[in-house]
Amino acid sequence: MHWLYLGIAIVFEIAVAIAAGKARGFTRPAWTAATLVSGGIATYLLSLALLTFDVGVGYAIWTSVAGVGIAVLGALLFGQRLDWRKLLGIAAVIVGVVGLQLSGVA
């Protein structure tokens, strides 16, 4: 169950990044509200995940996988390039998360 909570928290954290970008330094009220609401939902689900995960472990997976999601969505929706540098970073995050899972500490 803690992986499900973390997964949903990651989806909302990706929404925070997109909304915060569109809020332009929080000068646009609707996107600012979207940032805060998404952030609130992401935070609550992260807190549920952290009932099981160590804080350091759950937080690192949450923020990093969200970062991967933002890079991938940026490529799919906003035409940003996924060059070898980004793919290397994405690969490292995936290897690290799988490593944590397989070694039984996450």
Partner 1 sequence: MPDTTNPEPEERTRMSTNHPTSGHRARAWLVLLLAGAFEIGYALCVGGSQGFTVLSWSLAAVVFFLLTLFALSVALRTIDVGIGYAVWAGIGAVGAALLGPVFFAETLTPVKALWLTVIIAGVVWLKLSDAPEQRRTR
What residues make contact with partner 1 under the rule CB under 8 A? 20, 25-26, 35, 39, 43-44, 46-48, 50-51, 54-61, 63-64, 67-68, 71, 81, 83, 85-86, 88-97, 99-100, 103, 105
Shortest distance (Å) from residue 56 CB to partner 1: 3
Report which DSSP code applies to 26: T
Cβ atoms within 10 Å, residue 86: 16
Q: Please name which of 37, 49, 47, 35 lies closest in space to residue 6, comparing C-alpha atoms.
A: 49
Which residue, 14 or 58, has its beta carbon nearer to partner 1?
58
What is the sign of the dihedral through the CA atoms of 23, 25, 28 and 34?
positive
Q: For the chain, how many residues are written?
A: 106
Shortest distance (Å) from residue 48 CB to partner 1: 5
Shortest distance (Å) from residue 75 CB to partner 1: 12
